[in-house]
Structure 1
Amino acid sequence: MPRTLSVLLTSCVLLVTAFQVSADDLANLDNKAKAEQVSENAHNQKRVILSAEERVQLTTQRNRLAKQLAQIEKENTTLSDTFSANEEILADKEKELNLATGSLGELFGVVRQAAKDAQLNYQNSLLGEKGKAFDVQLEKVINTDALPSLKLLTNLWQAMDYKARTGSELALTSIPFVQGDGKTTQLPVMRIGDMAMLSEQGYVQWDFARQQASNYLALPSEVPSLSALKSEPNQPILIDPTRGVMLEQYAHQPTLMQRIDQAGIVGKIILVILLIGLVIAIIRGVRLSMTQQQISKQLKQPETPTDNPLGRILSVYNKEKKQSVESLELRLLESILDEQQGLERGLSMLKLFAALAPMLGLLGTVTGMIETFQVITQFGNGDPKVMAGGISMALITTVLGLVAAMPLLLAHNILSNRAEVIRNTLEKQGVSLVAKRAELESDSSSQVYA
C-alpha cells in the first residue's frame, strides 16, 4: 500500500507539472496570434490606402487621355477639312496650269526625248572631249522638272547643231592606237564625220569605253587609205554608217573554204561530183566540137573519106556499095548506131551526176537537221550558236547540191543537142547514100529493060 500511494503521488505531481507547462505554451501562442492579427490588420489597411491612391491616379490619367483623344479627333477633323480644301485647290491649280501651258507640256516631252537621243548619239560618237561637254548640258535638259528655260533650249540646239556640222566634216586628228604587241601609240587618222576613222591601213575600230583604237579583224577590199583620201577628197568611198558595227560583223563572214568546211563530208562529195562532171563535159564538148568541124570539112570533100564519123560512114558505103539496097541500108544504119554510141559517150554520166547532186544536198540537209536536234536535246535551244553547225551543214549542202546540178544539167542538155545534130547529119548523109544507090540500081534496071 505505501508503495502504491507513493506512485500515485508521483503521478499527480507530474500531471500538475505538465498542465503548468501547457498553460504557458498556450499563453505564448495566444500572444503570437494576437501580434500576427495586428500586423495583418495594419497591412490590409495600408493596401486599402494604396488601392484608393492608384484608383485616383488611374481616374486622373483616364480623364487626361480622354481630353487628349478629344483634342486629336478635333485636330483630325480640322486636317481632313484642310486636306479636302487643298485637294480642291490643287485640282483648280492643275486646271489653270494646263490652260496656261497648253501644248507646252507635250513640247517639253518632245524636248526631253530629243535631248535623250542626242545624248545617246554623243555617248557613242567620235567627237571626243567636245562631245562630252555637250553631254553634260544635255543631262541638265533631261533631268529638269520644270519647263525648259531658254538657256536649256539653247544648249540643246547648240548640241544638235554641232553634231550636224561635225557629221559632214573631214578632220585630221591623232588617237591612241593599240598595236598587235599590246603597245599603245599615237596614230594619225582622218575622222570622217561621226561615223569612222581612217588610217593608212584602212578603217580602225574605236573602243568607246577605253577611248582607244585597234585594227579590225578583216576589212573589205574597197576600203580606201588615208593617203588616197587626202589626194582625192571628193572620191566616193565605202562608209559604215553604224560606227563600225557592220565592219565588225564583216570579220565574222565566212570565206568560201570555211563554207565548204561547214558543209562537211557530204558537201565535199558534191564538189567532187561537180568537178568530175565538169571535166567530162569539157572533154566531151571539145570532142564534139572537133567532130563537128571534121564533119563539116568532110562534107566539102565526100570523095576522100578521112578518120571522122562521116568519113567512116562513107568508107562503109564505098566498101558495101556493090551490095543490094537493103543490105547497104542495114550496113549504114549499123555504122550510124556505132557512131552515135561514141557521140553520146559520157552524157549518161552527166545526167546521173545532175540527178545525184541535189539528192546528196538533201542528204546533207537531213544529216544537218539530225545533228541540230541532237544538240537541242543535249543543250536546249536557248543559245543559237550551239545549233549553228548543224543548220549551216543543212543549208550549205542544199545550196551546193543545187549549184552542182544546174551546170551539169545545162552541160548535158547542150552536149546532147550537139550530139543529136551530129547524129541527124550522119543519118541524113546515110539516107542520101542509100537513095543514091537506089537511083543507080533503078537506072540500071531501066537500061536492061530498054
Structure 2
Amino acid sequence: MKIKALAISLCLFTLPFAASATSTLVEKTQQEQQLQKAHNAKREAGFKLTEKEIKQQRDALIAQRDQLQRETQQLSNTFSGNENKLAKLEEQLRLETGSLGELFGVVRQTAKEMQAEINFSVTGADRTTYHGVVEDIVDAKALPSMKQLTGLWQGMTDQIVASSELREVSVPFINGEGYQSDVNAYRLGSIGLIGEQGYLSWDGKRQVAKPYLKQPENGPAFSTLNTLTQSGLQAAVVDPSRGVMLEQLANSPELSDRIEHGGVVGKIILGLLAVGGIIALFRGAKLVVIRQQIKAQLKNPSQPGNNPLGRVLGVYSKEQNRTVEALELRLLETIVDEQQGLEKGLSMLKLLAALAPMLGLLGTVTGMIETFQVITQFGNGDPTVMAGGISMALVTTVLGLVAAMPLLLAHNILSTQADTIRNILEKQGISLVAEQAEKAGSAA
C-alpha cells in the first residue's frame, strides 16, 4: 500500500512539469509552421517570377524564329530569282559569244605552249618582256582583251626573232662547287648557251645556268665564238635537240670508265694482257734478230757464228770424223735444243690467251650475281638499274675477249716464225748429213 501511495504522489508531483513542457513544444511547433509558411511563400513568389521571365524569353524566341523564317523565305525567293536571272544571262552570254569560246581555248593553249617554251628555252635568259602577258592569258577566266592578244602576238614574234640570233648575254652561273656568279655567254638562238666552259645547261625555272658533265669533241667556247663573230664567220658545233643529246653524252662512258666498271677482274685481265704483250714483243724482237743472223750465216756457211744455224754448222765441223748416224743424232740434238730456245715463252702466251676469256666469264657471272641481289633488295621497277648492272657485268667479258684475241694472234705469229727457223735448221742439218753420207760413200 505504501508503494501504491508513493506512486500516486509522484504522478501528482510531475503533472505540472508535463503540462509546462507540452505548452513549450506547441509554441515551438507554431513558430516552425510560421517560418515554413513564410519560406514557402517566398519560394512561390520566386517560382512565379521565374515562370514569368521564362515566358517572356519564350515569346522573344518565338518572335525571333518567326522573323528568321520570314527572312529565310525572303532570301530563298531572292536566290531563286538570282538563279533564274543568272541562267538567262549565261544563256545570253553563250549566244552572244558564239565561237569566241573556241577562240579563247585556242588562245589559252597557245599561251601555255609559249609559256612552256619560255621556261624551257634559253631565250628566257634575256627575252622575258612578254612573259607577264602570257601568264595573264594562261590564268585568265574570261575572254582575253585586245591588249593581251596583241601582247601574245608580239611575244611570239619576239621568240621567233630571238631564235635566229647569236647574242652575247650575261647569265647567273652555278659552278661545280655550288658557287653562283654572273658570267658572259653567247645565246645561240633557242638552241643553247655557250660559255667559256662550253655548252651551258639552262634551268628556266630557277633562271640559272649550269655546266654539262661532259662536252662534245671540238665543241664551241665563248672565246672561239667571240673570235668567229669578230671575223664575220659564224660556225659552231650545235645540239639541235637543245640539250637532250648533251645530257645523254654524260651517260656515254669513256674507255677509262669502262675499265673502271670491270672492277678487280678487269684489271687482272688487263694485267695479263700487259704481261702477254711484253712477252710477245720481246720474243718477236728476238726471233727477228735470229732470222737476220741466220740470213747472214747462210751467206757465209764456212765461218759459224753465235746463232742457231752457226751452232748447227759448228757441230758439223767438230763431228766430221764420226759416222753418218752419229752425226745425224748430234745435229738432231742441237736442233732440238735450238727449238726449245725458239719456242721459249710461247706456251705462256697460249696460257694467257686461254685464261683471259675465262676470267672475263668469271667477272660476268660475279656481276650478274650482284645485279640480281640488287633486284632482290629493291625490285626491278627501274629498268636502268638492271641495264646498268648487266652492262657493267659484261665489261669483263669484253675485256677478256679483247685480251685473248691479240694474245692468240701473237702466239700464232711467233709460232710460225719459230717453225720457219726450225725448218731452216732441219733443212741445213739434213743437207749436212747428206754431204757427210756422200763423203763416206766416196771414201768407201
Same-fold call, TM > 0.5? yes
1:73-119 per-residue CA deviation (whole Å, 9 max, x = no partner) reads xxxxxxxxxxxxxxxxxxxxxxxxxxx99xx9xx9999789768756
- Deviation of residue 346 (structure 1)? 0.9
AA in 1 matched with 2:306: D
Aligned to 1:176: 172
Query: 1: CA distance between counterparts of 2:144 and 2:230?
Result: 47
Match of 2:442 among 441, 444, 450: 444
- Deviation of residue 259 (structure 1)? 3.4
- Deviation of residue 387 (structure 1)? 5.3
AA in 2 matched with 1:441: K
- Deviation of residue 319 (structure 1)? 1.8
> Do 2:108 and 2:138's aligned partners in 1 also have CA atoms closer than 8 Å?
no
> Do 1:294 and 1:308's aligned partners in 2 also have CA atoms closer than 8 Å?
yes
1:19-98 matches, cutoff 5 A: none
1:185-200 matches, cutoff 5 A: 185-194=181-190, 195-199=192-196
Aligned to 1:391: 390
Aligned to 1:205: 201
1:285-434 matches, cutoff 5 A: 285-383=284-382, 390-434=389-433
AA in 2 matched with 1:213: A
Query: 2: CA distance between counterparts of 1:258 and 1:390?
Result: 14
Range 142-151 or range 236-245, more displaced: 142-151
1:238-272 per-residue CA deviation (whole Å, 9 max, x = no partner) reads 33334444444545555544433332221122111
Q: 1:337/1:163 Cα in 2 relative to 1: closer, same or farther (>3 Å)?
A: farther
Q: What SS class does the counterpart of residue 196 from structure 1 fall into?
A: strand
Query: 1: CA distance between counterparts of 2:115 and 2:176?
Result: 37
> Do 1:196 and 1:243's aligned partners in 2 also have CA atoms closer than 8 Å?
no
Query: 2: CA distance between counterparts of 1:235 and 1:444?
Result: 93
- Deviation of residue 390 (structure 1)? 4.3
Q: 1:178/1:377 Cα in 2 relative to 1: closer, same or farther (>3 Å)?
A: closer
Query: 2: CA distance between counterparts of 1:307 and 1:258?
Result: 49
1:142-170 per-residue CA deviation (whole Å, 9 max, x = no partner) reads 78999999999987765555434433321
Q: 1:406/1:153 Cα in 2 relative to 1: closer, same or farther (>3 Å)?
A: farther
AA in 1 matched with 2:370: E
AA in 1 matched with 2:183: L
Aligned to 2:263: 264
Query: 1: CA distance between counterparts of 2:412 and 2:157?
Result: 65
- Deviation of residue 424 (structure 1)? 1.9
Range 325-334 or range 249-258, more displaced: 249-258
AA in 2 matched with 1:319: K
AA in 2 matched with 1:299: L
- Deviation of residue 220 (structure 1)? 4.6
Query: 2: CA distance between counterparts of 1:180 and 1:375?
Result: 30
- Deviation of residue 228 (structure 1)? 4.5
- Deviation of residue 370 (structure 1)? 0.8
Aligned to 1:30: none
> Do 1:118 and 1:159's aligned partners in 2 also have CA atoms closer than 8 Å?
no
Q: What SS class does the counterpart of residue 380 from structure 2 fall into?
A: coil
Q: 1:152/1:328 Cα in 2 relative to 1: closer, same or farther (>3 Å)?
A: farther
AA in 2 matched with 1:375: V
Root-mean-square deviation (CA, aligned residues, Å) is 6.2
- Deviation of residue 178 (structure 1)? 3.7
Q: 1:302/1:337 Cα in 2 relative to 1: closer, same or farther (>3 Å)?
A: same
Q: 1:380/1:178 Cα in 2 relative to 1: closer, same or farther (>3 Å)?
A: closer
1:134-149 matches, cutoff 5 A: 134-135=130-131
Query: 2: CA distance between counterparts of 1:185 and 1:364?
Result: 46
Q: What SS class does the counterpart of residue 205 from structure 1 fall into?
A: strand
Q: 1:240/1:301 Cα in 2 relative to 1: closer, same or farther (>3 Å)?
A: same
Query: 1: CA distance between counterparts of 2:277 and 2:388?
Result: 29
Range 408-417 or range 207-216, more displaced: 207-216
Range 224-233 or range 265-274, more displaced: 224-233
Query: 2: CA distance between counterparts of 1:444 and 1:308?
Result: 31
Query: 1: CA distance between counterparts of 2:153 and 2:389?
Result: 53
> Do 1:171 and 1:190's aligned partners in 2 also have CA atoms closer than 8 Å?
yes
> Do 1:270 and 1:400's aligned partners in 2 also have CA atoms closer than 8 Å?
yes
Percent of aligned pairs sharing the same letter: 54
AA in 2 matched with 1:208: G
1:239-250 matches, cutoff 5 A: 239-250=238-249
Q: 1:178/1:233 Cα in 2 relative to 1: closer, same or farther (>3 Å)?
A: farther
Q: 1:157/1:291 Cα in 2 relative to 1: closer, same or farther (>3 Å)?
A: farther
- Deviation of residue 436 (structure 1)? 2.8
